[in-house]
Amino acid sequence: MLFSPYRMGTLELPNRIVMPPMTRSRAAAGDVATPLMAAYYAQRASAGLIVSEGTQISPQGQGYAWTPGIYNAEQVAGWRLVTDAVHAAGGRIFAQLWHVGRVSHVDLQPGGAQPVSSSALLADGVKVFVDPDQQGPQAGVGGMVQHSLPRALTLEEIPAIVQDYARAAQNALDAGFDGIELHAANGYLINQFIDSQANHRTDAYGGSLSNRLRFLKEVVQAVIGVLGKERVGVRLAPLTTLNGAVDDTPQATYLAAAKLLDELGVAYIHIAEVDWEDAPEMPEAFKEALRMVYRGTLIYAGKYTADKAQAALQAGWADLIGFGRPFIANPDLPFRLQHGLALNPPDANTFFGGDAQGLTDYAAAQGA
C-alpha cells in the first residue's frame, strides 16, 4: 500500500510517502527562500507529498535564525523558485505556516518586543527551550531556558494574528504552493492555546475545552476562506511535550480537535507522533478513535520504517506516512524503500544552518 497512488482532495499522489516539515535554517537575509532550497526540495519531489519547513507568517512569528518567512513579496518570490522546481520535477508541495508564539527570543522580535503567547505564565517547572543562536528545535534538548517571559495576547490582538495566517495563506497560493499546513503542534502558538498547561486564560480563549480550541477554529476558518478546505491541512502532536506543550487530558482534547477539524472539512490531519525523543508512540486505540471522529486523510510521522508504515496503512488508521530524517539523507527515499535498498545515514551536524553540505549533496541510488 505504501507505494500505491492516493487521492487527497484534488491532488493525485503517486505514493503514500510524505516528506514532513523539517527546519533546515538555510534561508537568506530577509528570511527569503533560496535557489539552494529549491534544489533541495526538487531532489525530493518523488514523495507523494512534500510539506515545507515551517515558514513564519509574520516577523512576530519567527522563533529561530535563518528560517524562511512568507509575509512579503520578496519571500513569495523566493518560495516561487521552490514550488516551480518541485512542480517541474513532478512533485506536490504544501507550505507549513508557522507562528512560534512564546518559543522565540526578544532579539528576534520586531523592536525587541516580548514574545507573545496564549498566557504569560507557564505551568510550574515547565521550561521553554530557546536561544538566540540556535539553528533549530533540537538546540533546546540541552536544557536552555527562555530568555524573556512571554506576554499574553490581548483579545484585541488575536484577530490580527488570525488575519496574518489568512494573508500568509494567500501568499502561499501566490507562491505556487498546492496548499498549506497549519503548524498546531510542538508547543508553537496554536498549540499554546490548545494545551491545558499552556493556556491559563479566563476569557473566551481559555478555560473550557471549546474555548481552548477557539483560536485553532478561527485560524482554520480564515485560511479555508482563502484557499478552500481541500487545500488545508493541520499538524497536531497529542502526546509530545516539546517546548512545554502539555495537556492534562490529551485524548479528550485531541479527539475534540479532530472532530472540529472534521466538521470544518480540512483535507488532512498530520500527527507528529514521536519527535525529538519527547513523546511515546500513541496507543493504537487512540489512533483508532481518531479515525472514528475524523473522516479525512490522516498522516502519521515519527520514526517509521517501511514495514511499520505498511502495517499502519493496512490497519486503516493511517492513510499516508511521513519519513522525516530519512528524507534528509535520501533524496530518492521512495525508490530506496520500494526496492529495499540501504539508506544513507544523515549527518546531524548539518541538519540546521550552513550551505549545500548536508542539504543537497547526498547521492541518489543508481537507477533512481
Dist CA 273 CA 164 (whole Å)? 28
Cell digits for 121? 505564565
CA-to-CA dists, residue 139 to 175, 305, 327, 349, 350, angstroms: 30, 25, 20, 12, 13
Question: 100 with 56: CB under 8 angstroms?
Answer: yes
Q: In sequence order, which residues have a C-beta less than 8 Å from that of residue 69 and are 6 or more positions away?
A: 27, 30, 31, 32, 55, 56, 57, 58, 59, 62, 75
Q: Measured in whole angstroms, how far is the alpha carbon of residue 221 from the centre of its chain?
A: 18
Active site residue 40: no
Residue 337 and residue 341: Cα distance in Å, rounded?
6
Q: H/E element holding 319?
A: none
The partner residues of 272 in beta bridges, in order of sequence, read 301
One-letter amino acid for residue 284 of the chain: E
Catalytic residue among 6, 40, 165, 188: 188
Count of other CB atoms within 10 angstroms of residue 338: 16
What CA–CA distance (Å, rounded) separates 289 from 99? 29
Q: Which residues are catalytic?
A: 188
